[in-house]
Amino acid sequence: MIKKFKPALAAAAVSLALFAQAQPVFAAEEQFFPVIGYRVGPYGANGQSFYGGFIDYLNYVNLKEKGVNGVMMTWEECETEYNNAKGVECYERLKGKAAKSAGPIHNMSTGISYALIDKSAQDKLPMAMMGYGRTDAVDGSVFPYAFPLVTTYQMQASAIVKFIKDKEGGNLAGKKIVYLYHDSAYGKEAIIAMEAEAALNKFTLVQIPVAHPGNEQGAQWLKIRQEKPDFVVFWGWGVMNQTALKAAQKVGFPREKMIGSWWTGSEEDVIPAGDAAKGYMAATWNVAGKQVPLIADIEKVVYGAGKGNLQDKAKIGTILYNRGVSAAVLSVEAIRKGQEKYGKGKALTGEQTRWALENLNITEARLKAIGATDLLPEIKTSCDNHEGSGKVKIQQWDGAKWVPVSGWIEGNKGLIHPLFQASAKQYAKEKGITPRDCSKEK
Amino acid sequence: MNFFFEVLIGGLLSGVMYALVALGFVMIYKASGVFNFAQGAMVYMAALSVVGCIEKGAPLWLAIILAFGIMTLFGIATEKFVLRKLVNQPPIALFMATIGLAFFIEGLAPMIFGSDPRALELGIVDEPIESVLENFNMVISKFDLVAAGVAAVLVTVLALFFQYTRVGRALRAVADDHQAALSIGIPLQHIWAIVWGVAGFVALVAGMMWGARNGVQFALTFTALKALPVLILGGFTSVPGAIVGGLIIGASEKLAEIYIPPVMQDLFGGNFGGIEGWFPYVLALLFLLVRPEGLFGEKHIDRV
Amino acid sequence: MLYREAGQFKTNYAADQQVFPIRQDRIGIIVLLAVAFLGVPMFASAYWFSAILIPFLIFALAALGLNILTGYAGQLSLGSAAFMAVGAYAAYNFQLRIEGIPIIVSFICGGLTAAGVGILFGLPSLRIKGFYLAVATLAAQFFIVWCLTKFPWLSNNSSSGVISTQQLIIFGHELTTPVEKYLLVLSIVVVMAMAAKNLVRSSTGRAWMAVRDMDVAASVIGIKLMPTKLLAFAISSFYCGVAGALYAFCYLGSVEPDGFSLDMSFRILFMIIIGGVGSIMGSFLGAAFILLLPIFLDVALPFFAELFGLPFSSATVSHIQILVFGALIMFFLIVEPHGLARLWQIAKEKLRLWPFPH
């Protein structure tokens, strides 16, 4: 069945992405991207923006510069519905196609990332987990094929604490911070960082979990009202975000004292909460808006040619759309980097892309050259640092758009990275992996 | 003590919201014996229809009327094309069909109206009532009070409808005994179409209240999970049961969330919050052990 | 013609009571097993093993477990995924904490743990019936998943509650390739399916069916309700538990409690309804159908969209998939409420006379 459909499938996927008939691609070399994503289900709206941005940028590279050194970007999408088993099926389905050439896989689901982490290492396909997934993969000696690029939950939590500290005049001793989180792997990841920060900065940490899906938070917010915290650090996802904002309004907790993670700070999260969201702050590793030259150019080039991936053009320039573009920018930059080593005009295999992801060096100048100034922070990866940046910005919702209220803030690397290494070491022991020696990697 | 009452009242008001969803289940189960798992999806569809119509330029009142029309048509279509063909099948087959229906709606509704989470403004700000806040230092939400009022009106209307109209009497007759009702000339299929229409209306009310509270989005389908313990506590066939069950579940769930985790923390160490997902179910389960047919459910007599 | 038992005389009790009394069935099963054990590994690709065949077998096992409970003993359950989670986490912990325990023993211990938990949550069934019980089993679904996230000991203190399973070592040989894992899963499933087939023919199975059809009547003729129902819960949970352990060890490799969601429980329930309630083979047919349908839609829809030049966006295609999935379930229930197993039965009836129906 699958075999029979294969040629049709490739054509269908391309035509699908382009809204119209498939057009013949003349380039000899093609760089394939397995897109394991989701556009329906409980978090479908988030996926639509993210993967819309991702594919738009790949299209943009094809249209604007005829690919990377003549290598055209191709991709195939597979719907996971944010479901782990389906994610694995998608991965196995696209794996065969990715044997010849593969860009990094972005699945935007922590559960799927966990399920794929061993498989992808075995199949030599690099997995990028930008702002989700297994965070101790920062230690590349144990996780050669997993890249929690840009930044991780723990570094983000640390950066948020730093932001609060600056706001409070450099001292958090005796303050009280509530950590309100989605009671799942995602929400629990950052606890270890918050606890470390609490011990270091001597503030009181109150942890309040919210049961999935989080559409009822009456009790939690009454408790917060009782605790009278100075700040609420908020780790929500999906409907939990709007509910929290509404519930904060319901008990009269000022939204200016709430700082969320980057999965709580998109337009999709605040618009449904209406006025209740005004003044709310969230961390992000990419900014919103069309004022970024690259985003404006994508709209002009890709949508001008009628090849945009989004049904609803209003989503261009939203946080998640720009995040998808940022993910694609990093992926394409990795392809560029890899071609420098393995031959220009040649498609990269998964193994080669892995090397490239480990040796990324995207400077301010390079970001400027692609028109992505300030869209995302500078990134420099290495074998022992698959994260590459660890920086976030804090942004505030003014009722109509997200406005950055800080520069790039870096988390406390000295505090957080040893936690990753310890966790990675335990994983290596459990799995019988011999870590690579990073000093020998180039 | 003040805090206790604050949580209690907040819980009771949340319970009203659960009861709103549970009412839809009760309506259909009562009249046709179908455990309609798609009720949550219908809540989603109803709310989505309202915001969808508003987006296309209709004012709120018109959007509500249009959404009501959509829901009624959909209910009738469901009856005609799905349930009518499954008459005389075991209840589990009907139950499964409604799960299939839930999937169908979850695909159809966002395909027509888009899947972005959107706000639904009903013009009620969800803020604490200031006088209560000042005098008693208690947070009582305006919105929740309005919701409670809506629920009260809805239940009254439904009760009157069941008690005093011709159709209502026929509905009760059908609920009591399908065959007996048929034999005295009550058109069964006609009645079921009406029931599904009414269930659509209840879903619309629930969808608007929940949508205004948390935003209109896919997660509205999860409201069904909040309504199920209410149902088993109150009994599948009782309208007052849904309300009382909702109040009990809402209040006990919130109190439990506040007071149980610290106890467990003392016992085992670690953080045990977030029990709202299962607590209502366990509570309802324990309750059922004492009264297997729920609070107001009809006592089931086995005949051999 | 092809499927006729005429002339097959039973001359002793053993022959009369064998599992497959008809010769054609015996041949069919042998051929099927030969294909599964020898033919498939020779021809299937890695994709088929790790994305379709392994999950198919695992879900068929879970569906089999649910079918024992729902189809044979008549107790509707919506918590199968939670029992799978118990099996997965228990097997992980046995493997982790007992030095040198063979992996198969871990799986069995995982199943037994699930059986214990199943008995606990089966207790209410002595009082509660029908949909009330179904909703009550949701308590198991949510409570168990919550426990797994809340007690860090269960996930070896992993900060996120996710466990990564240990290596699969059998007789000193580590199973790494999909084919090896497939053969392991297949062997376990075949053994357990055979056991189930025998079990439902035994006095236990007949007692279950009596309870399913009318429990008051069953108790009147001397069947003790409590042990019968609890045994059904225990064995059903054991099957689900082993399926869960296989799901973690042989399929995903790393699982989180939230992965064993209500959605998964529903999927397993779908499998037995579509496949056939109260049929061993139905569990397999249903698992195949529910697993393959979305994949088929995923592949076929874009193809058709292109064929007819329909301007579907990716989101629309995804929505249509869900819509068609739901519609097909309803369609199936309308056309054949007794499931695929019933269709197979009808086919057998027809085959008996074919090609000369008169």
- Is-contact C223 C217, C-beta < 8 A? no
Chain B residues closer than 8 Å to A219 by CB: 7, 10-11, 253-255, 257-258, 276
Nearest-CA distance C59 → chain A (Å): 11
CB contact under 8 Å between B300 and C129, yes or no, is yes
Local mean pLDDT, 10-residue blocks, chain A (442 residues): 41 40 53 91 84 94 92 90 87 89 92 88 92 89 93 94 93 94 87 94 94 88 92 92 92 93 91 91 92 93 89 88 95 94 92 94 93 91 91 94 93 92 88 86 68
Q: Give the separation between CA B156 and CA C164, rounded to whole angstroms.
A: 55
Residue A12's pLDDT is: 42
Residues 127-186 of B with CB under 8 A from C: none
CB contact under 8 Å between C325 and B293, yes or no, is no
Is C82 part of a structural domain of the chain?
A: yes
Q: Give the separation between CA A181 and CA A209, rounded to whole angstroms.
A: 5
Residue B35's pLDDT is: 87
Q: Where are the domains of chain B?
A: 2-290
Residue C1's pLDDT is: 61
Residue B30's pLDDT is: 82
Residues 51-90 of B with CB under 8 A from C: 82, 85-86, 89-90
Q: What is the pLDDT of residues C142-158, one digit of tens each?
A: 999 999 988 889 988 87
Residues 198-257 of B with CB under 8 A from C: 225, 228-229, 231-232, 236
Global pTM reads 0.90
Q: Read off the pLDDT band of B87 (50, 70, 90).
A: confident
Is C329 part of a structural domain of the chain?
A: no
Q: Give me B182's structure tokens.
A: 């048929």
- Start and end residues for every CATH 3.40.50.2300 domain found in chain A: 2-151+291-380, 153-284+393-418
Give how far Cα A356 sits from Cα of A206, A239, A361, Å.
41, 37, 10
Phi, psi dihedral angles at A233 (to 5 degrees): -95, 130
CB contact under 8 Å between B304 and C329, yes or no, is no
Residue B34's pLDDT is: 85
**Interface partners of A (3+ CB pairs, < 8 Å)?**
B, C
Does residue C315 surpass a pLDDT of 80? no
Q: Please give the residue of chain A at the shortest CA–CA distance from C159.
A: A189
CB contact under 8 Å between C146 and B231, yes or no, is no
Residue C311's pLDDT is: 65
Higher-pLDDT residue of A85 and C285 is C285
A124 lies within 8 A of chain C by CB: no
Residues 241-280 of C with CB under 8 A from A: 251-256, 258-259, 263-264
CB contact under 8 Å between A17 and C314, yes or no, is yes
Residue C90's pLDDT is: 96
Residues 120-139 of C with CB under 8 A from B: 124, 127-132, 134-136, 138-139
Of the partner residues B106, B116, B271, the one whose CB lies closest to the CB of residue A207: B271
**Interface partners of B (3+ CB pairs, < 8 Å)?**
A, C
CB contact under 8 Å between C330 and B100, yes or no, is yes
Of the partner residues C127, C262, C315, the one whose CB lies closest to the CB of residue B292: C127
Degrees to nearest 5, angle at CA C349 with C344 and C353: 135
- Of C165, C7, C133, nearest to C69 by C-alpha is C133
CB contact under 8 Å between B139 and A225, yes or no, is yes
C187 lies within 8 A of chain A by CB: no
Nearest-CA distance B167 → chain C (Å): 27
> Average of pLDDT values for C30-46?
89
Question: What is the residue whose two structure tokens read 């094809």?
Answer: A62
Q: Which has the minimum average pLDDT: B8-22, C26-40, C121-135? A: C121-135
Residue C37's pLDDT is: 92
Of the partner residues B89, B90, B106, the one whose CB lies closest to the CB of residue C322: B106
Percent above pLDDT 90 for chain B: 33
Q: Which has the minimum average pLDDT: A290-304, B283-297, C119-133, C309-323? A: C309-323
Highest mean pLDDT among B42-46, B124-128, C271-275: B42-46
Tell which CATH classification among 1.10.3720.10, 3.40.50.2300, 3.40.1190.20, 3.10.129.10 matches the domain A153-284+393-418.
3.40.50.2300
B137 lies within 8 A of chain A by CB: no
Residue A27's pLDDT is: 45
Nearest-CA distance A163 → chain B (Å): 26
Give how far Cα B212 sits from Cα of B208, B215, B249, C197, Å.
6, 6, 22, 53
CB contact under 8 Å between B214 and A222, yes or no, is no
Is C325 part of a structural domain of the chain?
A: no
Chain B residues closer than 8 Å to A252 by CB: 127-128, 133, 139
Nearest-CA distance A43 → chain C (Å): 12
A48 lies within 8 A of chain C by CB: yes
Chain A residues closer than 8 Å to B253 by CB: 216, 219
Does residue C350 surpass a pLDDT of 90? no
User: Rg of chain A's alpha carbons, rounded to an integer?
Assistant: 21
- Provide the number of structural domains found in chain C: 1
**Interface A:B, Cβ pairs < 8 A:** 129
Q: Please give the residue of chain A at the shortest CA–CA distance from B122.
A: A274
Residue C140's SS3 state is helix
Nearest-CA distance B226 → chain A (Å): 9
Kindly provide the ipTM of the predicted complex, given to two decimals.
0.88
Give how far Cα C330 sits from Cα of B84, C270, C335, Å.
12, 11, 9
CB contact under 8 Å between A210 and B116, yes or no, is no
Say yes or no: domain B2-290 is CATH 1.10.357.
no
Q: Please give the residue of chain C at the shortest CA–CA distance from B288.
A: C128
Is C84 part of a structural domain of the chain?
A: yes
Give the CATH H-level superfamily of domain A2-151+291-380: Response regulator (3.40.50.2300)
Q: What is the pLDDT of residues C172-204, one digit of tens each?
A: 888 888 899 999 999 999 999 999 999 999 999
Q: Give the separation between CA B304 and CA B110, rounded to whole angstroms.
A: 48
Q: Please give the residue of chain B at the shortest CA–CA distance from C129.
A: B292
Of the partner residues B270, B275, B288, the one whose CB lies closest to the CB of residue C146: B275
Q: What is the pLDDT of residues B160-205, one digit of tens each?
A: 888 888 888 888 888 777 788 888 888 888 888 888 888 899 999 9
